[in-house]
Amino acid sequence: MATDTTPDRFLLHETGAGAQAWMGRNLITIKAVTDDTDGHYGLIVSEAPRGSAPPMHIHHRTDEAIWIIEGRLRLVCGESDVVIGAGAFTLLPRGVPHTFLALEDTKMLGIMSPGGTEGYYFEGGVPKTSDTPPPVDVARMVEAGSRFDVEVTGEPLAGEE
């Protein structure tokens, strides 16, 4: 017997709404958590200043889709190493190492499917209390990753185009 897993409630987060955390130098705004979507996905907006780069990492239980709203990234996923800009969309499949380097200030929409990994950004990051990001704490990211099946596997990208 099939069951309807469509969320039964209307959800609206106005412009600027959503909990925020610093993940490294990136400001993450959570727009939808797994409870909002009956587990289907989590939705974030990430603002990456020029030069920022997360460590190489793997999401073991989620696929990550990214749509670039503005800016430009060097993106490494598995054997692919590309530069993408505003309007580009990419799917980073679960189990494949990936990272990026912001070549300019970049804003992107991220969808993690199934949902749940969006909690990693709060446990691995630091809740926003100021407009200045705190020092990057890779040990905190690694420790939180153990609870969300996110594995740090290497260093961030360095340099600029």
pLDDT, one tens digit per residue, over 107-156 is: 999 999 999 998 899 899 999 999 999 998 989 999 999 999 999 999 99
Share of the chain above pLDDT 70, in %: 93
Would the pLDDT of 106 be above 70?
Answer: yes
pTM of the model: 0.88
Instruction: Quote the DSSP letter at residue 131.
Output: S
> Count of alpha carbons within 13 Å of 72, Cβ hemisphere only?
6
Would the pLDDT of 4 be above 60?
Answer: no
Instruction: Quote the DSSP letter at residue 4.
Output: -
Whether residue 139 lies inside any domain: the answer is no
Domain that holds residue 57: 20-128
Whether residue 79 lies inside any domain: the answer is yes
Q: What is the pLDDT of residue 1?
A: 44
8 Å CB contact between 39 and 115: yes
Give how many domains the chain has, as a whole number. 1
E-strand ranges in 36-157 read 42-48, 57-59, 63-70, 72-77, 80-85, 89-92, 98-102, 106-113, 126-127, 150-152
Whether residue 63 lies inside any domain: the answer is yes
Whether residue 77 lies inside any domain: the answer is yes
